[in-house]
């Protein structure tokens, strides 16, 4: 049976690179009717934190990457000691004492050529004569990464080790340990790096942000997963939009590209927009509620769900993230708005008391307050005043929304309603 593992360390959050590694392991297991094991590498007790563990497991669940088994290295110390003793008895390792008398277990590296057939990169050859003897158990009693990794993978019957190519240098050390312990060497597949848009390693500016942060920024799990899927793998036929259930039918680790992938935030935004446009408006409104409440744009008590749904439909096609809605549509939910300073300076510095008063009166007198009637009323006023429509459209928009861009002005007025439109316009009318 195919058995793969994702082995994060709870010394930090789950980032883009780790999420893709987890995704490709999960996909391979599901595609081959195998098992996906989550192994928490928490041997560093000082740096391992519960908040990081919680973030990692929550993020994996949010992405839809459910695991079949979970284990913790911190609960397996006796197993590492048992295997180290086995190597000591066989003469493949020795004890090294520190000046203070603490003992470490050291593995004797045999100088030989090591060949590994990587499922992504093909044959890789290593020269072990360049390696020093390897520490297995440190003087404080904790196992080193390479030793614990080999013991765990072997005793968990891991058939395929799928990990980032930053681990290629660990491979010869681990192969030697597999052989010395009499374990079967698993298949290896090293995933290419994910680079920033400018070609360097990912930084916070170019996307190296925790998965939980992407969630807080308003990205949908399915769009983020779809994008991660295409970082070094393609479903064929120039397809881009593909869900997990369909990817399972097509995925094979040997089809992963060995060249580095480029993380492009603009492309991720495009994916998120595609998924947001197709989302059921009611579900989208439900997902938006926590964002609106957190920003103080929406009351927690008895919010008008029907009204929210209408505003969601107004913006849905344009959104790149859920936060875009909060940024762009907040004026529909706030009692008081403050115009953007530059917008106020540009469009509300002139005295438009007459024009705003007349338009407010026109709207108040409308029998049918619908988008068509609102537009007709505006066009008639512009004609009577003998001015271009842009001379009034932009100032009215800023007065009503605080912003220079947004939905059509007449739709804005319709959804704000007569009373709020009148109040916001008259705020800019100078009292005589």
- Looking at the predicted structure, is the pLDDT value of residue 260 above 80? yes
- Looking at the predicted structure, is the pLDDT value of residue 229 above 90? yes
**Are 105 and 252 contained in the same domain?**
no
Output b/e per residue, 153-176; b: 16+ Cβ within 10 A: bbebebbbbbbebebbeebbbbbb
Question: For residues 162 and 251, is the Cβ–Cβ distance under 8 A?
Answer: no
Residue 250: give the domain boundaries. Answer: 3-71+193-267
Whether 432 is covered by a domain: the verdict is: no
- This prediction's pTM: 0.92
**Are 201 and 178 contained in the same domain?**
no
Whether 407 is covered by a domain: the verdict is: yes
Contacts of 212 (CB under 8 A, 6+ apart): 13, 14, 55, 58, 59
**What's 414's domain CATH number?**
1.10.10.350
pLDDT, residue 205, reads 65
Give the other-Cβ count within 10 Å of 41's Cβ.
18
- Looking at the predicted structure, is the pLDDT value of residue 303 above 70? no
Contacts of 391 (CB under 8 A, 6+ apart): none
Last residue of a domain, one of 150, 170, 191: 191
Whether 272 is covered by a domain: the verdict is: no
- Looking at the predicted structure, is the pLDDT value of residue 23 above 60? yes
Residue with tokens 């003087």: 139
Question: For residues 34 and 190, is the Cβ–Cβ distance under 8 A?
Answer: no
pLDDT, residue 372, reads 96
**Are 258 and 293 contained in the same domain?**
no
Please give the structure tokens belonging to residue 125.
């050859």
- Asked which of 116-120, 300-304, 381-385, 392-396 is least confident by mean pLDDT, the reply is 300-304
Please give the structure tokens belonging to residue 49.
């934190």
Please give the structure tokens belonging to residue 405.
């861009």
- Distance from the Cα of residue 419 to its chain's centroid: 41
Q: Per-residue pLDDT averaged across 244-248, rounded?
A: 96
**Are 234 and 256 contained in the same domain?**
yes
pLDDT, residue 209, reads 83
pLDDT, residue 228, reads 97
- Look over the chain and give the mean of its residue pLDDT values, rounded to a whole number: 94
Dihedral sign for Cα atoms in the order 68, 73, 74, 76: positive
Q: Per-residue pLDDT averaged across 13-23, rounded?
A: 96
- Looking at the predicted structure, is the pLDDT value of residue 301 above 60? no
Please give the structure tokens belonging to residue 90.
């066989």
Q: Per-residue pLDDT averaged across 91-106, rounded?
A: 93
Give the other-Cβ count within 10 Å of 365's Cβ.
9
- Looking at the predicted structure, is the pLDDT value of residue 294 above 90? no
Question: How many folded domains does the chain comprise?
Answer: 4
**What's 234's domain CATH number?**
3.40.50.620
Whether 274 is covered by a domain: the verdict is: no
Question: For residues 223 and 271, is the Cβ–Cβ distance under 8 A?
Answer: yes
Whether 431 is covered by a domain: the verdict is: no
| Residue 418 to residue 424: CA distance in whole angstroms | 10
Last residue of a domain, one of 314, 332, 350: 332
**Are 91 and 180 contained in the same domain?**
yes
Say what the alpha-carbon torsion angle 138, 144, 150, 153 is, to the nearest 10 degrees: 120
DSSP annotation of 201 reads B
Residues found in the chain = 432
- Looking at the predicted structure, is the pLDDT value of residue 273 above 60? yes
pLDDT, residue 299, reads 63
Whether 273 is covered by a domain: the verdict is: no
Q: Which helix (H) or strand (E) holds 194?
A: strand 194-195
The SS3 assignment for 356 reads helix
**Are 312 and 255 contained in the same domain?**
no
**Are 102 and 179 contained in the same domain?**
yes
Q: Is 117 exposed, middle or buried (CB count within 10 Å of its CB: 0-12, 13-18, 19+)?
A: exposed
Active site residues: 204
What radius of gyration do the chain's Cα atoms show?
30
- Looking at the predicted structure, is the pLDDT value of residue 432 above 70? no
Closest by CA position to 395, among listed 375, 369, 425: 425
Residue with tokens 């680079």: 195
Model confidence band, residue 319 (pLDDT cutoffs 50, 70, 90): very high
**Are 137 and 53 contained in the same domain?**
no
Per-residue model confidence as pLDDT tens digits over 149-185: 999 999 999 999 999 999 999 999 999 999 999 999 9
Please give the structure tokens belonging to residue 86.
């086995």
């Amino acid at each position: 049976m195919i058995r793969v593992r994702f082995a994060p360390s709870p010394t930090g959050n789950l980032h883009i690179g780790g999420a893709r590694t987890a995704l490709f392991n999960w996909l391979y297991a599901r595609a081959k009717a195998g098992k996906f094991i989550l192994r928490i590498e928490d041997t560093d007790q000082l740096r391992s934190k519960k908040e990081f563990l919680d973030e990692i497991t929550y993020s994996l669940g949010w992405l839809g990457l459910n695991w079949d088994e979970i284990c913790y290295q911190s609960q397996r110390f006796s197993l590492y000691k048992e295997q180290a003793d086995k190597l000591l008895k066989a003469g493949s390792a020795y004890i090294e004492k520190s000046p203070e008398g603490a003992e470490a277990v050291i593995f004797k590296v045999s100088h030989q050529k090591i060949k590994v057939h990587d499922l992504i990169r093909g044959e890789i050859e290593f020269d072990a004569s360049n390696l020093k003897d390897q520490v297995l158990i440190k003087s404080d009693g904790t196992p080193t990464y390479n030793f614990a990794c080999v013991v765990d993978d072997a005793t968990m019957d891991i058939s395929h080790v799928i990990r980032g190519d930053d681990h290629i240098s660990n491979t010869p050390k681990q192969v030697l340990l597999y052989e010395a312990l009499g374990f079967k060497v698993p298949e290896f597949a090293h995933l290419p790096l994910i680079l920033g848009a400018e070609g360097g390693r990912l930084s916070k500016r170019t996307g190296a942000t925790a998965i939980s942060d992407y969630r807080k920024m308003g990205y949908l799990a399915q769009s983020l997963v779809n994008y991660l899927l295409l970082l070094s793998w393609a479903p064929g036929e120039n397809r881009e939009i593909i869900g997990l259930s369909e990817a399972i039918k097509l995925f094979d680790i040997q089809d992963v590209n060995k060249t580095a992938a480029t993380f492009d935030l603009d492309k991720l935004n495009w994916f998120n927009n595609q998924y947001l446009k197709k989302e059921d408006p009611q579900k989208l409104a439900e997902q938006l509620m926590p964002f609106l409440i957190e920003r103080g744009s929406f009351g927690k008590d008895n919010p008008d769900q029907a009204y929210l749904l209408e505003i969601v439909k107004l913006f849905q096609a344009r959104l790149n993230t859920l936060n875009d809605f909060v940024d762009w549509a907040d004026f529909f939910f706030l009692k008081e708005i403050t115009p953007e300073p530059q917008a106020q300076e540009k469009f509300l510095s002139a005295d438009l008391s007459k024009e705003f008063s007349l338009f407010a009166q026109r709207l108040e007198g409308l029998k049918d307050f619908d988008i068509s009637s609102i537009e007709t009323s505006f066009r008639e006023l512009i004609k009577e005043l003998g001015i271009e429509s842009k001379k009034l459209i932009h100032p009215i928009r800023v007065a009503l929304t605080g912003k220079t861009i947004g939905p059509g002005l007449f739709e804005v007025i319709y959804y704000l309603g007569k009373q709020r439109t009148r109040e916001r316009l008259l705020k800019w009318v100078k009292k005589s």
